[in-house]
Amino acid sequence: MAEIVLDKVTKRYPDGALAASEVDIDIADGEFIILVGPSGCGKSTTLNMIAGLEDISSGELRIGGARMNEKAPKDRDIAMVFQSYALYPHMSVRENMAFPLRLAKVDDREVREKVDEAATILDLTNHLDRKPSNLSGGQRQRVAMGRAIVRSPKAFLMDEPLSNLDAKLRVQMRTSVSKLQKQLGTTTVYVTHDQTEAMTLGDRVVVLRGGYVQQVGSPQFLYEQPANLFVAGFIGSPSMNFFPASLADNRLNTPLGEVELTDRVRRLLEGKDAPREVIAGVRPEHFEDAGLLDEPTRSGGATFRAKVDVLESMGSDKYAYFTVEGEQAVSSELEELAADAGATEVPETGSQVVTRLSAASTATEGGTTELWFDRDKVELFDPSSGVNLTYSG
Amino acid sequence: MTAEVGTTAPAAGTEQPPGKRALSEGKRAERKLAFWLCAPAAIVMLAVTAWPIIYSIWLSLQRYDLRFPAETEFVGLENYITVLSSPYWWTSFGVTVFLTAISVAIEFVLGFALALIMHRTIVARGLIRTVALIPYGIVTVVAAFSWRYAFTPDTGYLAQLIAPDSALLTERLPAFSIIIVAEVWKTTPFMALLLMAGLALVPDDLLKAASVDGAGPWKRFIKVIVPVMKPAILVAVLFRMLDAFRIFDNIFVLTQGAQQTGSVSVSTYNNLIKGLNLGIGSTMSVLIFITVAIIAFIFVKGFGTAAPGSDDGGKR
- For residue A261, give Cα distances in angstroms to A48, A248, A304, A378, B296: 46, 10, 17, 9, 85
Asked if residue B291 is part of any domain, the answer here is no
- Total domains in chain B come to 1
pLDDT tens digits along B267-302: 999 888 888 888 999 999 999 999 999 999 998 887
Please answer yes or no on whether B213 and A82 come within 8 Å at the CB atom.
Answer: no
Q: What strand order describes the sheet that includes A66-67?
A: A18-27, A4-12, A58-63, A66-67
Q: What are the chain A neighbours of B230 within 8 Å (beta carbons)?
A: 90
Please answer yes or no on whether B203 and A86 come within 8 Å at the CB atom.
Answer: yes
Asked if residue B52 is part of any domain, the answer here is no
Domain containing B249 — which CATH number?
A: 1.10.3720.10
Which ipTM did the prediction report? 0.83
- The answer to whether residues A201 and A189 touch, using CB atoms and an 8 Å cutoff, is no
- Phi, psi angle pair for A349, to nearest 5°: -115, 140
pLDDT given at position B312: 36
Nearest CB to B227; choose among A72, A73, A90: A90
Asked if residue B47 is part of any domain, the answer here is no
Please answer yes or no on whether A84 and B215 come within 8 Å at the CB atom.
Answer: no
Asked if residue B266 is part of any domain, the answer here is yes
The interaxial angle of helices B172-199 and B140-150, nearest 10 deg, is: 140
What's the pTM value of the predicted model, to 2 decimals? 0.79
Nearest CB to A78; choose among B212, B223, B228: B212
Shortest CA distance from B214: residue in chain A: A74
- Phi, psi angle pair for A213, to nearest 5°: -75, 125
* A380: nearest Cα among A285, A301, A279, A251: A279
Q: Which residue type, as a one-letter code, is found at position A340?
A: D
* CB-count burial class (<10 Å; 0-12, 13-18, 19+) for B209: buried
CA–CA dist B261, B250 (Å, integer): 11
Q: What are the chain B neighbours of A72 within 8 Å (beta carbons)?
A: 211, 216
Please answer yes or no on whether A74 and B223 come within 8 Å at the CB atom.
Answer: no
CA–CA dist B162, A315 (Å, integer): 90
pLDDT tens digits along A326-344: 777 788 888 888 877 776 6
* A4: nearest Cα among A46, A72, A50: A50
Asked if residue B176 is part of any domain, the answer here is yes
The C-alpha torsion from A328 through A332 and A336 to A341, rounded to 10°, is -20
Asked if residue B161 is part of any domain, the answer here is yes
Smallest CA–CA separation between B211 and chain A, in Å?
6
Asked if residue B3 is part of any domain, the answer here is no
Domain that holds residue B99: 86-276
CB pairs < 8 Å spanning A and B: 60
Per-residue pLDDT band at B152 (split at 50, 70, 90): confident
CA–CA dist B164, A85 (Å, integer): 60
Q: Which of residues 100-119 of A touch B (CB under 8 A)?
A: 100, 103-104
Which segments of B61-203 does DSSP mark as H helices, in order? 78-84, 87-120, 125-137, 140-150, 157-162, 172-199
Asked if residue B289 is part of any domain, the answer here is no
pLDDT tens digits along B222-270: 999 999 998 889 999 999 999 999 899 899 998 888 888 888 999 999 8
CA–CA dist B120, B128 (Å, integer): 11
pLDDT, average across residues A236-247: 89
Please answer yes or no on whether A86 and B228 come within 8 Å at the CB atom.
Answer: no
Please answer yes or no on whether B206 and A88 come within 8 Å at the CB atom.
Answer: yes
Per-residue pLDDT band at B66 (split at 50, 70, 90): confident
Helix (H, G, I), strand (E, B) or coil at A117: helix
DSSP assignment letter at A110? H
**Residues in contact with B58: Cβ distance below 8 Å, sequence separation at least 6, in sequence order:** none
Tell me the CA end-to-end span of chain A in Å, nearest whole number. Answer: 30
To probe the interface with A, which of B204, B213, B228, B230 has the most A CB atoms within 10 Å? Answer: B213
Burial of A102-115, coded b for 16+ CB within 10 Å and e otherwise, reads bbeebeeeebeebb
